[in-house]
Amino acid sequence: MNDQQPDPSTPTNAFDWVRNLQRQIQQNARQLAQHHEVLQPVHVLLKENAQLKEDNAMLRKKLDDLQHNTQQQEITHNTEMVFDDEDDSRDPIGKACDKVAAAMATVAQAGSSTKDSIHAHASPMKKVSYASIAKKNSTRTQRRKQRLDNPTDGMIAWAMRKFTSNTTETMDGNQRVPQRARYGIVYLKSPQRTSHGEARRALAIFKIPQARIIDVHFPIRGIIGLLIHADFKAELLDLLKQAKVNPVDFTPTAAATIINPEYADYTNEQRAAKAKELYSNRMLRACARLPKAYLGAAILRHFVSLAEDDPHHMDAIAEKQFQIMRPRLTRRERAAIVIPPIEEARRLLLSESNAEMDTNA
């Protein structure tokens, strides 16, 4: 028998064709819905872009208005200056002061917020002249001169220390041997957690001169150490006694100072060695962060020279470590150090912060 081809006009084939068409329509509808979901964020971004363009145009208009108002104020300010720039009899320093004052006023106004800048041009800018600047400098000079003419007891004591040797001499046989400056640490109890600033403010309330406190550190919880010159110890103890604050006996290199659970399995010898290591590192950091490097070197030299059985003794390697942390520069090396201008420093800080944000992101 010969195979017969299916006739598409028959009812069965027509139904199949309709079903296929419905399936294709449903598939196209699903694809269209997916396209709508993809395009929805694009439409949102387009709307936000249009809004940003409007805001940008508005801000540009406000900026142009502010620049125009600033220029008008500069013209008015320059016209009403006490001295005329064209006057040849006026000294060049006065002209420079007037220009700097006008520039500072302009920068101060530009640095304020947009709202403040809009309302700022309604009131006239305060006039700054060379005479007012000279008067202010004269007042500052007079105050400084009055302080020098009527010095306080602390100022007199400070001046005397500048011309009084802080070393003593003893008789060793027939020779007079100069002794090096001596330093010490006075320990106070502080049951509360305290920062460096809070500790110094509390000591200032007790009328203790902060310039005589070389450093404040915290060896363990509840103990504050005050690094001082030995000549100031008697005065410090007297001021503390008046404030009803009693010093405490504390040995920073004792094994009992190691209370961290991390070292719970250490023996007493290991604890003592760890305590001395922490004490040496703490003193080394304190001396290295002092503004005057020679003072830090002198303090370390004193503690290294102590007897080995002294609880505050430091090993000689501390001086070498200090030289690495605070190297002694020659005059040529110091002259080669270039301090960037403030604008360059700000740019470097901004670039570093942006790089850090990118790294964290």
What pLDDT, on the 0 to 100 scale, is given for residue 17? Answer: 79
Structure token pair of residue 217: 């550190």
Computed on alpha carbons and rounded to an integer, the radius of gyration of the chain in Å comes to 39
pLDDT in tens, 44-81: 888 888 888 888 888 888 888 887 777 766 655 554 44
Q: What SS3 class is residue 214?
A: strand
pLDDT in tens, 238-275: 999 999 999 999 999 999 999 888 988 999 999 999 99
Helix (H) or strand (E) holding 107: helix 92-110
Distance in angstroms (rounded) separating the CA atoms of residues 206 and 243: 6
What pLDDT, on the 0 to 100 scale, is given for residue 246? Answer: 93
Distance in angstroms (rounded) separating the CA atoms of residues 4 and 13: 14
The HSE-up count of residue 172 (CA atoms within 13 Å, CB side) is 8
Query: Is pLDDT above 50 for 90?
Result: no
Over residues 7-28, the mean pLDDT reads 74
Give the range with max mean pLDDT: 24-28, 110-114, 182-186, 345-349: 182-186
Concatenating the DSSP letter of every residue in 18-55 gives HHHHHHHHHHHHHHHHHHHHHHHHHHHHHHHHHHHHHH
Q: Who has greater pLDDT, 86 or 244?
A: 244
Over residues 160-181, the mean pLDDT reads 55
Structure token pair of residue 181: 């400056």
Q: Nearest-CA neighbor of 319 among 294, 351, 292?
A: 294
Distance in angstroms (rounded) separating the CA atoms of residues 272 and 267: 9
Q: Is the C-alpha dihedral spanning 82, 88, 89, 95 positive or negative?
A: positive
Question: By percentage, how much of the chain surpasses pLDDT 90?
Answer: 30
Distance in angstroms (rounded) separating the CA atoms of residues 73 and 66: 10
What pLDDT, on the 0 to 100 scale, is given for residue 89? Answer: 45
Residue pair 318/304 in contact (Cβ under 8 Å)? The answer is yes
Query: Is pLDDT above 70 for 193?
Result: yes
Distance in angstroms (rounded) separating the CA atoms of residues 94 and 227: 49
Confidence of residue 115 (pLDDT cuts 50, 70, 90): very low
pLDDT in tens, 311-324: 999 999 999 888 88
Distance in angstroms (rounded) separating the CA atoms of residues 247 and 237: 8
Q: What is the mean pLDDT of the chain?
A: 76
Q: Nearest-CA neighbor of 127 among 85, 67, 74?
A: 74
- Residue ranges per structural domain of the chain: 44-84+92-116+123-156, 186-329
What pLDDT, on the 0 to 100 scale, is given for residue 267? Answer: 92
pTM (2 decimals)? 0.50
Residue pair 229/182 in contact (Cβ under 8 Å)? The answer is yes
* Chain centroid offset of residue 298 CA: 28
AA identity, residue 226: L
What pLDDT, on the 0 to 100 scale, is given for residue 94? Answer: 54
Range scoring the smallest mean pLDDT among 41-45, 207-211, 329-333:
329-333
Q: Nearest-CA neighbor of 185 among 85, 89, 313?
A: 313
How many other CB atoms sit within 10 Å of the CB of residue 103? 11
Structure token pair of residue 304: 């290294």
Supply angle C-alpha 311, 319, 336, rounded to 5: 150
Q: Is the C-alpha dihedral spanning 106, 108, 113, 116 positive or negative?
A: negative
Over residues 150-166, the mean pLDDT reads 70
Q: Who has greater pLDDT, 133 or 267?
A: 267
Query: Is pLDDT above 60 for 174?
Result: no
> Counting runs of H as helices and runs of E as strands, what totals does the chain give?
12, 5
Q: Nearest-CA neighbor of 212 among 311, 295, 312?
A: 295
Distance in angstroms (rounded) separating the CA atoms of residues 172 and 269: 38
200 burial (CB, 10 Å; 0-12 / 13-18 / 19+) is middle
